[in-house]
Amino acid sequence: DTEVTQTPKHLVMGMTNKKSLKCEQHMGHRAMYWYKQKAKKPPELMFVYSYEKLSINESVPSRFSPECPNSSLLNLHLHALQPEDSALYLCASSLRDRGGSRAEAFFGQGTRLTVV
Amino acid sequence: AQSVTQLGSHVSVSEGALVLLRCNYSSSVPPYLFWYVQYPNQGLQLLLKYTTGATLVKGINGFEAEFKKSETSFHLTKPSAHMSDAAEYFCAVTGTGNQFYFGTGTSLTVIP
């Protein structure tokens, strides 16, 4: 199984709503990532979890709240978003061991988020 | 620090022609380099990767790339373009941390 599964595929939410994006992988990867991607732009790193601990937060606004309940799951909780937060949100995972292995990242299909 | 630069945000080729997408890297450590492809409204799919060893790397869908340390380049090629190759292509580099650094992307158009 070399898949990263993201749900939902599409999400429309109002600016006062609370919603969550989910990501799951069963490849035994210990690094998991959230990226935000605007149209015609490269993915922008938001968060990195390494061994279920948040290791990188790229100065993301607090209206985005990540969570890593276990080594297979990654959530992104959304609250009070703005229309400019509309984008494709990508989850990825990679095999990163404590020795510094630099394996490739596997990406999910993304969640297309529209904030109205 | 690591970074990649993709030259040419848009490349157009005729069907059957050579595809050449350019990527140059900057890295303070031996780089691990990747090419990803993204079709509309989809995630990124790994085409190929260079870690160590052989500098000519073969990937999926007939693509290959050559790591040239002297030129700090990792250009992506395919001998004969197919209509299905039309997509966005991203070069990426990773260092010793947990981050992947992406280039700005190259949009490939294939003309019938």
Split chain B (112 residues) into runs of 10 and give each run's mean pLDDT: 91 98 89 93 93 91 96 97 97 81 96 96
| B102/A contact by beta carbon, under 8 A | yes
In the structure encoding, which two tokens stand for residue A50, read together?
Answer: 């390494």
pLDDT at A100: 58
Given a contact cutoff of 8 angstroms between Cβ atoms, the answer to whether A79 and A60 are in contact is no
Taking an 8 Å cut-off on Cβ atoms, the answer to whether B98 and A56 are in contact is yes
Q: How many other C-beta atoms can be found within 10 angstroms of the C-beta atom of residue B21?
A: 25
pLDDT at A97: 63
pLDDT at A76: 98
Q: What is the nearest CA distance from B76 to chain A, expressed in angstroms?
A: 17
pLDDT at B15: 98
Q: What is the nearest CA distance from A27 to chain B, expressed in angstroms?
A: 16
A95 pLDDT higher than 80: yes
Q: Which of B27, B6, B15, B8 is nearest to B84 (CA)?
A: B15
Residue A101's pLDDT band, with cuts at 50, 70 and 90, is low
Residues of A in contact with B102 (CB under 8 A): 42-43
pLDDT higher for A32 or B41? Answer: A32
Q: How far apart are CA A102 and CA B62, in angstroms?
A: 24
pLDDT at A56: 84
In the structure encoding, which two tokens stand for residue B67, read together?
Answer: 């790591």
pLDDT at A53: 93
Chosen from B38, B44, B50, B93 to mutate, greatest number of chain A CBs within 10 A: B44
Given a contact cutoff of 8 angstroms between Cβ atoms, the answer to whether B76 and B4 are in contact is no
pLDDT higher for A86 or A100? Answer: A86
Residue B60 phi, psi (nearest 5): -85, 165
pLDDT higher for A99 or B97? Answer: B97
Residue A84 phi, psi (nearest 5): -70, -10
Which residues, including other chains, have CB under 8 Å from residue B84's CB and lie 6 or more apart?
Answer: none
Find the angle CA(B70)-CA(B71)-CA(B76) to the nearest 5 degrees: 125
| A41/B contact by beta carbon, under 8 A | yes
Which residues, including other chains, have CB under 8 Å from residue A99's CB and lie 6 or more apart?
Answer: none
A98-115: average pLDDT: 85
Q: How far apart are CA A86 and CA A38, in angstroms?
A: 8
- What is the chain A residue with the closest CA to B92? A104
pLDDT higher for A104 or B76? Answer: B76
Which residues, including other chains, have CB under 8 Å from residue B90's CB and lie 6 or more apart?
Answer: A42, A43, B6, B35, B36, B37, B38, B44, B102, B103, B105, B106
A16-29: average pLDDT: 95
A36-47: average pLDDT: 94
Mean of the per-residue pLDDT values for chain A?
Answer: 92
